[in-house]
Amino acid sequence: MKELELKYGCNPNQKPACIYLADGGDLPLTVLNGKPGYINFMDALNSWQLVSELKAATGQSAAASFKHVSPAGAALGIPLTETDRKIYFVDEGAELSPIACAYIRARGSDRLCSYGDWAALSDVCDAATAMYLKNEVSDGIIAPGYTPEALEILKTKKKGNYNVVQIDPAYVPAAAEHKEVFGITFRQGRNTYVPDEASLENIVTKNKTLPPEARADMLTALITLKYTQSNSVCYVKNGQAIGVGAGQQSRIHCTRLAGNKADNWYLRQCEKVLNLPFREGIRRPDRDNAIDVYTSDEYEDILADGIWQQTFTRRPEPLTAEEKKAFIATQSGLTVGSDAFFPFGDNVERARKSGVQYIVQPGGSIRDDNVIETADKYGMVMAFTGLRLFHH
């Protein structure tokens, strides 16, 4: 197929809309079910690049959960722990493939933001992944292939209208890319830089011990940032992007936003949250919303008389600010990545509060010395890549 007509563009008033290759060639994708829209394809094509590059860089299955052209989460296919299964609503006895684990972890990074996401898989979608997706609110999926059983499961979603896209993994786009804004066409060379082990060689801190797990986390951060609207900062732990701060004008605001998301992800694992007495039949999105409010400063909105009874069998004890701070302080071993240099040491100070031990960023600030000094103060390891990863 050379051209695919879309229902409309970004908004219903933007018609006509379609996708095609400028050289007139066949599209490298096939719609197997549903009718994806303009924003769906923006998410699909950006997320596919992320997961395919992440797999190439790490050798592991990779998945992403995309919303509004930025990842809500991305992850490698590392097996789930018992706690993971509980906080991501996975049956104890469910057998999970690496690609299923990758998507469950990607969506679990920020379940609130992943509501109505676009899923991307580096590998063929199997029945285990499809069964998990079946019970989540999602707009569509892109993958290099689908098993027959997985495709039949996905076709039952959204009353048969769930968007399923298959992409040719061998497709290589043209070296130059074009974009039109206000009737004016921009042309630039496509960003073909894919972070790899060589990108992490310039360690600028006194502590130069970078274990394999931290290297994988750095690559996960960098490739996630490559497909996140700038400015962006990403916190990663154990191959999972647990906090993504996108589209902020200030670097410190990115670091705070992503750090707060990483803290929220970790708070789901504290005892009070794990043991929240939910009523039978409470839907997953409602649980996610309740947990988000319960762990926030607005916890009274879910614990007020006449309100808590709608969600819980008994009124939970509040999670106090002191308890949250103490629990977050037990978090450690995180990696933080930035798509451009940290201009001040305050970014390092904020990252440390969320348990960051490893930092990867381009470097190049006139205050690099201050940033390095701040990292050295806490015994952190920081690598300069020398390459910026802005994405717009």
* Concatenated DSSP letters of 185-248: EEEEE-------GGGG--B-SS-----HHHHHHHHHHHHHHHTSPSSEEEEEETTEEEEEEES-
pLDDT class of 1 with cuts at 50, 70, 90: confident
Q: Which residues contact 314 (CB under 8 A, 6 or more apart)?
A: 277
Active-site hit among 68, 158, 272, 391: 68
Q: Which strands form 356-361's sheet, in the order they lie side by side?
A: 29-33, 163-167, 138-143, 117-121, 62-67, 70-76, 240-246, 232-237, 334-338, 356-361, 381-384
Show the tokens assigned to 83: 């706690």
Helix (H, G, I), strand (E, B) or coil at 85: helix
Q: Which residue is associated with the tokens 């008994």? A: 314
Amino acid at 381: V
C-alpha to C-alpha distance for 190 and 179, rounded to whole angstroms = 11
Q: Which residue type sits at 357?
A: Q
Task: Enter the tokens of residue 356.
Answer: 């960051």
Q: What is the pTM of this model?
A: 0.96
Is the distance from CB of 124 to CB of 97 less than 8 angstroms?
A: no
237-294 pLDDT, tens digit each: 999 999 999 999 999 999 999 999 999 999 999 999 999 999 999 999 999 999 999 9
Of residues 33, 40, 55, 67, which has the active-site annotation?
67
- Average pLDDT across the chain, whole number: 96
- Known active-site residue 392: yes
pLDDT of 322: 96
Q: Is 43 helix (H, G, I), strand (E, B) or coil?
A: helix
211-229: b (≥16 Cβ within 10 Å) or e: eeebbbbbbbbbbbbbbbb
Question: What is the rounded distance in angstroms from the CA atom of residue 46 to the CA atom of residue 163?
Answer: 16
**For residue range 346-355, what is the model confidence (pLDDT) as tens digits?**
999 999 999 9
Among the listed residues 33, 231, 238, 347, the single catalytic one is 231
User: Catalytic: 253?
Assistant: no
pLDDT score recorded for residue 93:
84
